Structure 1
Amino acid sequence: MFASYLIGLREGLEGALVVSVLVAFLVKSDRRDRLPLVWTGVIAAAVLSVGFGALLTFTAAGLGHRGQELFDAITSLLATVFVTWMIFWMRGAAWSLSGELRSRLTEALRLGPVAVVVMAFLAVAREGLETALLFFASVQGATTTASPLIGISLGLLTSIVIGWGLYRSALRIDLSTFFTWTGLLLILVAAGIFKYGVHDLQEANLLPGLSAQAFDISAVLPPDSWWGALVSGMFNITAQPTVLESLAWVAYALPTLVLFLRPPSSRRPASPASPSSPSSSASPASPAEKAA
């Protein structure tokens, strides 16, 4: 449940920040009449994300054993790529994200209502599709309980509350610290997902070594214990992994952690100037815009 909660919280907060910036810009620019267009795009993106998650689930359920293992492996590897890209992208682009969103929304307002809907849809859809793919990949083998679904739902609800609090100036958090710590945890989650993908490729007979066990820590990490279930559910760490699985986990986790923890080589880039408008230029950025 915790891994699913973390996914929902991290991805949901990124989406909430995007929506907060768009809403704050329209309110400050005295364009409240365009808010329904933004919400239409956001709702459409949410529907697409849920539909994508359902498609992944039904596709996997309709395949045979070997096909399902291969499908799970592909989604796990894709999720690893996307979450890694997202972690590093957010660290580098967070400072300029608010200005870029305001610039795109200004251009969309100039083009017309459809452009505003499409812009809001595209801004949120990426986060939603990533969330669906990452959630599907992270809960493989845990689909017999409702804990993963409860976890991601609680994470999304928490992110909405935080996003609303930032927008209303009722909450102030150090987003740099937040994204650093959640990034570290997500790297460990992604390492487990990558390991799981390698195991699925072994199950599909596309990689060798399924019977080559690296070690056995069942005495320390019993599968039927609460702590064994917690570690396994969070990071896909199993008590009896294969040699190839273990090598895959280490090969992903160590260099990714080193790169993520490496101090940035340049100073924080200056945020782009906000689009020119009498109301937006005269008033300071809202907490949501500063946060993004």
Structure 2
Amino acid sequence: MFANYLIGLREGLEAALVVSILVAYLVKSERRHLLPRIWSGVALAVVISLAFGAALTFGPRGLTFEAQELIGGTLSIIAVGFVTWMVFWMARAAPGLGAELRGQIDRAADAGRWSLALVAMLAVGREGLETALFLWAATNAATDGTAATWEPLAGAALGILTAVVLGWLIYRGALSINLSTFFTWTGAFLIVVAAGVLAYGVHDLQEARFLPGLHNLLFDVSEQVPPTSWYATLLKGIFNFSPRTTKLEGLAWVLYLVPTLSVFLVSVRRRTAAAPSRPAAPAPVS
């Protein structure tokens, strides 16, 4: 549940910051009459993201077991690719995100009636689609492919709600957080979560008989960590840890986690050392 909460919080805060920048710029440039276009784009992005999540959840049902596992494993690996790209992109682009969005607003305001709605929809929809895909993959991994329990979804919803509140407080100037530190720590944690999702995706592909080695175990600690125990559930829910891990799963986990996390931390350290200090949040709107 905590991992899903953190996913919802991080992705929700990214979307909330985007919306706050868009709204703040229109308000400060005395173009409040254009705000409904922003909100219509945000609403459309939310609807599309929910529909995408529903399609992921209910679409594979009715297929054979092997087909479900093949689809699930493939989507899990795609989700890992998306979240990895998102973590690195946000770390690199966050300092100039405000200027980029303001430029897009100026161009869209002059382009046509629905251009601003399209800018908002694309900006928020990207986060929504990534969130839906990664939450589906993480939840599917945490529940071993069975029907999703309410805990992961509740955790994600609570994280998104927290992000909305934080975004509003940042917009009003009531709260200032170090976004660089926030995205660094959550980015590193999501890379660890993504490694577990990748390992589970490999396991799904082994179940689908697409990859070999399903019974070639790297370790089996089921006696020490019973799958039904509370601590096994906790490890599964946060890190997607499986007491029975195949050699191919373990290899995929190591080959992803070690280089990806190392490159991420080194790039963050270099960027922090080279860049001057920047404001932590958008300026408050009077």
Shorter chain as normaliser: what TM range? over 0.9
Matches of 1:103 and 1:267, distance apart in 2: 25
Matches of 1:145 and 1:38, distance apart in 2: 34
Alpha-carbon distance change, 173 to 50 in structure 1, aligned in 2, over 3 angstroms: same
The 8 Å contact of residues 216 and 241 in structure 1, kept in 2 or not, is answered as: yes
* SS class of match (1:249): helix
Q: Which of 131, 138, 163 is the matching residue for 1:159?
A: 163
Q: 1:233 matched to which residue of 2?
A: 237
Matches of 2:223 and 2:114, distance apart in 1: 60
**How far 1:267 sits from its partner (Å)?**
2.6
The 8 Å contact of residues 180 and 280 in structure 2, kept in 1 or not, is answered as: no
Matches of 2:78 and 2:94, distance apart in 1: 23
**How far 1:184 sits from its partner (Å)?**
1.0
Amino acid of the structure 1 residue aligned with 2:140: Q
The 8 Å contact of residues 79 and 133 in structure 1, kept in 2 or not, is answered as: yes
Amino acid of the structure 1 residue aligned with 2:138: S
Question: Please, what TM-score do these two structures have when normalized by structure 1?
Answer: 0.91
Amino acid of the structure 2 residue aligned with 1:40: S
Q: Alpha carbon RMSD of aligned pairs, Å?
A: 1.8
- Taking the TM superposition and a 5 Å limit, the aligned residue runs for 1:259-278 are 259-262=263-266, 263-264=269-270, 267-268=274-275
Which 5+ residue runs of structure 2 have no aligned equivalent?
none
Which 5+ residue runs of structure 1 have no aligned equivalent?
272-284
Amino acid of the structure 2 residue aligned with 1:90: M
Q: Which of 230, 251, 257 is the matching residue for 2:261?
A: 257
How many correspondences in the alignment? 277
Matches of 1:208 and 1:221, distance apart in 2: 25
Q: 2:198 matched to which residue of 1?
A: 194
Percent identity, please.
53
Matches of 2:96 and 2:43, distance apart in 1: 25
Matches of 1:269 and 1:231, distance apart in 2: 39
The 8 Å contact of residues 26 and 32 in structure 1, kept in 2 or not, is answered as: yes
Amino acid of the structure 2 residue aligned with 1:176: S
Q: String of CA shifts for 1:182-228, please: whole Å, max 9, x gaps.
A: 01110011000100110011001111110011112224422122121
Q: 2:50 matched to which residue of 1?
A: 50
The 8 Å contact of residues 83 and 134 in structure 1, kept in 2 or not, is answered as: yes
The 8 Å contact of residues 80 and 194 in structure 1, kept in 2 or not, is answered as: yes
| Pairing 1:244–2:248 present | yes
Matches of 1:257 and 1:69, distance apart in 2: 28
Matches of 2:280 and 2:110, distance apart in 1: 23
Q: 2:212 matched to which residue of 1?
A: 208
Alpha-carbon distance change, 239 to 43 in structure 1, aligned in 2, over 3 angstroms: same
**How far 1:287 sits from its partner (Å)?**
3.8
The 8 Å contact of residues 21 and 289 in structure 1, kept in 2 or not, is answered as: no
**How far 1:289 sits from its partner (Å)?**
5.6
The 8 Å contact of residues 177 and 280 in structure 2, kept in 1 or not, is answered as: no
**How far 1:234 sits from its partner (Å)?**
1.2
Amino acid of the structure 2 residue aligned with 1:268: A
